[in-house]
Amino acid sequence: MIQEETIQKWLIDESLFKDKLPDENANFHYIINYPENHVMDIIQPLGKNDLILIGCATEIASEQRALMREAKKSEREDYIWELRYTLNTQLLDFNLQLENDNELKQFIITDKIFEDGLTKHLFIKTIEKVFKSKIQCIWKLEQKFGIPTQDNSLNDDNNMFV
């Protein structure tokens, strides 16, 4: 059984802890800052005492979505397929929320660690991997469609389940 106290201690030791959320679907649910001002979730789903879920949800800013809408449909489709392949090679779970002919509205990236493989090192490395994959999605978005006038393509107040 993964002890909540251990996870909380590791988050506090590494200055990642932001808040604990009430969550009826989880044994525990933490919001962390990684890096500063980028929200991520650490969850032990209800009834899964041997599992930790690490994830982030990112909503695409309206300015970035407007740039996507201006692009050809085939360019949006190419971007979505490239994003799928990229995330899949990282062995991550993901969900792309699309609308209006492959306009990306939001994406969720998650990874999990089971009790028999849980170490502080792997825990922190998994947080880093999920975050780096998030940034890679944003960079690919900006590379393909351009950078919005205002630098707010990341909505960092997102978490997965609130």
More confident residue, 30 or 161: 30
Residue 161 placed within a domain:
no
Number of domains in the chain: 1
Asked whether residue 160 is domain-assigned, the answer is no
What band does 101 get if pLDDT is binned at 50, 70 and 90?
A: confident
Give residue 114's domain range: 4-155
Confidence of residue 115 (pLDDT cuts 50, 70, 90): very high
Quick: pLDDT tens for 36-94: 888 999 999 999 999 999 999 999 999 999 999 999 999 999 999 999 999 999 999 99
- Whether 52 is covered by a domain: the verdict is yes
Mean pLDDT (the chain, rounded): 90
120 found inside a domain: yes
Q: Is residue 82 part of a domain?
A: yes
Between CA 159 and CA 38 the distance in angstroms is 9
- Whichever domain contains 127, its CATH number is 3.30.1460.10
63 within domain boundaries? yes
The answer to whether residue 120 scores a pLDDT higher than 90 is yes
Please state the separation of Cα 24 from the chain's center in Å: 21
